[in-house]
């Protein structure tokens, strides 16, 4: 019974629970009826229901990075700084790339499932898994040779050496991380948003055991923390496969029954054409944020400490709209794949207003987090003043961040990643970053206030631009574009 509930597709039911390759006519009729009778209430219930487990999933993934920092906080200050540098480097030159590429499956798998071409969902997943591992080779080479690279950009030899150790040992877990991301999309395309959460919860005691064994028992220190996270990453896809085989075998209806080796290497163009702009969209945001934090280090230690609180709060609340945007892209992808373009356009309008409400909620939550910081988490009056001065602009930022996340979800669902890639990259690097440097470090010397003013206005501009472009684009061509992607 639990498995059936977890695998309910977002188009009511578009596939048979048996192993048939195509849905029966009565199921098509029910899907058609469900797609035509969408309402504000039904869509809000659907988004809320499936977003909740995803919010927990992404927060739990974020916790694993925090766990590394907490474990390494028991080590020396130099080692803690090195781990922080290692995490930042691995995120930008690695995990952000894999995450960005994986969003291509939000389009491909969801549209294939919505079209009833269910075994193509598994084929897309397999092709992507091969593709992401091939791309991981040059990224892994950079991590492997980080002892020769980092000393040129990091002034402290000790920090550079330990960060290199962290990157090298983290490399062990890259195949598991990339495979798990692909597997999550395979499940999500079918309306299963709980499998990833179940796997991450199951990995918690495993990760704790690895940290105790490697960091403290064997005294591997930074290497142990990195290896503990890497081994946990390797376990995740195995647990996800076990979940599919034994707890929810209905999901395997989307796995190809007969597969030729040559088929895996054919028709990669749709995947590559979606993966590249998706990666640009993700990377441009991550790198811009890191550049801004780096720029703050030139203002002073007080502003840098305050920025740590502000940035952490922003990242935490961002998980709410991001989870909802994943559901949004899956829902729209299934509708487009099923041929319900008018319905997809209709519900995308609903989602914009829903995310406005979510944006207001984010502002309230962010206000509460920063009040907690000001009253309980810091006693330094100078840091309090810096947080308080930037607080209004940071709260405004969370609203526009929510809207941009919503529009990115719509873009992924319909397959317009190029729009998101270009607008995000140009908006960040032609507007937000230069404006931050002027307001924060320029003649006005606005400090953190200038930083958050700039990036809030930049996100507002990105959101408005993407919204206009989505509105002006021809939705009628989406079915032809989706059909082009459904060739095996």
Q: How sure is the predictor about 112, in pLDDT bands with cuts at 50, 70 and 90?
A: very high
Residues 6+ apart with CB under 8 A from 362: 317, 320, 321, 398, 399, 401, 402
Mean pLDDT in residue range 307-311 = 89
Higher pLDDT among residues 12 and 18, named by residue: 12
Higher pLDDT among residues 25 and 138, named by residue: 138
pLDDT of residue 334: 93
Give 353-370 pLDDT, tens digit per residue.
999 999 999 999 999 999
- Within 243-300, residue ranges assigned H as helices are 261-264, 269-296
DSSP track, 188-240: HTTT--SHHHHHHHHHHHHHHHHHIIIIIIS--THHHHHHHHHHHHHHHHHHH
**CA distance linking residue 467 with residue 408, whole number of Å:** 10
CB 333 within 8 A of CB 411: no
DSSP track, 123-166: HHHHHHHHHHHHHHHHHHHHHHTHHHHGGGT-S-HHHHHHHHHH
Q: Where are the domains of the chain?
A: 64-266, 275-488
Mean pLDDT in residue range 303-325 = 92
Give 427-465 pLDDT, tens digit per residue.
999 999 999 989 988 888 888 999 999 999 999 999 999
Half-sphere exposure of 286 (CA within 13 A, CB side): 20
Mean pLDDT in residue range 39-57 = 93
pLDDT of residue 378: 80
Average confidence score pLDDT of the chain: 89
pLDDT of residue 9: 54
pLDDT of residue 488: 65
pLDDT of residue 26: 40
Mean pLDDT in residue range 209-220 = 96
pLDDT of residue 12: 45
C-alpha distances out from residue 74 to 60, 207, 219, 230, Å: 22, 17, 12, 20
- pLDDT higher than 60, residue 290: yes
pLDDT of residue 157: 92
**CA distance linking residue 313 with residue 389, whole number of Å:** 15
The kind and range of the H/E element at 40 are helix 40-72
Give 36-46 pLDDT, tens digit per residue.
568 888 899 99
Which range, of 92-96, 322-326, 465-469, 476-480, averages the lowest pLDDT? Answer: 476-480
Q: How sure is the predictor about 29, in pLDDT bands with cuts at 50, 70 and 90?
A: very low
> Tell me, what DSSP letter sits at residue 431?
I
**CA distance linking residue 414 with residue 471, whole number of Å:** 13
């Amino acid at each position: 019974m639990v498995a059936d509930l977890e695998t309910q597709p977002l188009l009511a039911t578009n596939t048979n629970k048996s192993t048939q390759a195509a849905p029966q006519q009565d199921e098509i009729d029910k899907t058609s009826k469900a797609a035509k009778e969408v309402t504000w209430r039904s869509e809000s219930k659907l988004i809320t229901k499936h977003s909740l487990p995803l919010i927990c999933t992404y927060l739990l993934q974020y916790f694993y990075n925090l766990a590394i920092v907490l474990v390494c906080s028991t080590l020396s200050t130099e080692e803690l700084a090195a781990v922080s540098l290692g995490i930042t480097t691995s995120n930008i030159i690695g995990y952000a790339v894999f995450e960005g590429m994986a969003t291509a499956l939000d389009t491909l798998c969801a549209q294939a499932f919505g079209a009833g071409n269910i075994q193509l969902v598994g084929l897309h997943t397999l092709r992507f898994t091969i593709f992401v591992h091939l791309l991981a080779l040059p990224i892994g080479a950079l991590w492997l040779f980080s002892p020769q690279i980092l000393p040129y950009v990091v002034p402290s030899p000790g920090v550079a050496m330990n960060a290199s150790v962290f990157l090298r040992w983290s490399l062990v877990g890259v195949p598991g991380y990339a495979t798990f991301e692909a597997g999550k999309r395979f499940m999500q395309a079918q309306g299963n948003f709980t499998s990833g959460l179940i796997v991450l919860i199951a990995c918690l005691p495993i990760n704790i055991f690895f940290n105790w064994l490697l960091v403290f028992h064997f005294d591997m220190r930074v290497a142990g923390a990195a290896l503990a996270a890497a081994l946990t990453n390797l376990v995740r896809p195995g647990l996800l496969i076990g979940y599919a085989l034994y707890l929810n075998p209905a999901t395997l209806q989307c796995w190809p029954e007969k597969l030729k080796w040559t088929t895996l290497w054919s028709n990669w163009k749709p995947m590559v054409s979606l993966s590249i702009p998706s990666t640009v969209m993700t990377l441009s945001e991550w790198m811009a944020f890191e550049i801004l934090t780096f720029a703050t280090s030139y203002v002073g230690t007080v502003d840098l400490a305050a920025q740590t609180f502000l940035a952490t709060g922003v990242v935490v609340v961002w998980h709410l709209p991001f989870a909802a945007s994943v559901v949004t892209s899956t829902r729209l992808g299934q509708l487009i794949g099923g041929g319900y373009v008018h319905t997809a356009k209709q519900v995308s309008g609903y989602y914009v207003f829903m995310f406005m409400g979510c944006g207001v909620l984010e502002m309230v939550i962010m206000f509460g987090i920063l009040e907690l910081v000001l009253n309980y988490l810091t006693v330094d009056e100078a840091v309090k003043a810096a947080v308080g001065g930037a607080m209004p602009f940071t709260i405004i930022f969370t609203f526009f961040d929510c809207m941009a996340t919503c529009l990115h979800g719509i873009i992924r669902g319909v397959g317009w990643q190029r729009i998101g890639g270009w607008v995000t990259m140009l908006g960040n690097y032609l507007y937000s970053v230069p404006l931050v440097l002027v307001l924060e470090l320029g003649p006005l010397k606005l400090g953190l206030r200038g930083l958050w003013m700039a990036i809030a206005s930049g996100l507002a501009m990105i959101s408005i631009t993407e919204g206009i472009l989505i509105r002006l684009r021809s939705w009628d061509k989406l079915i032809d574009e989706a059909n082009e992607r459904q060739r095996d």
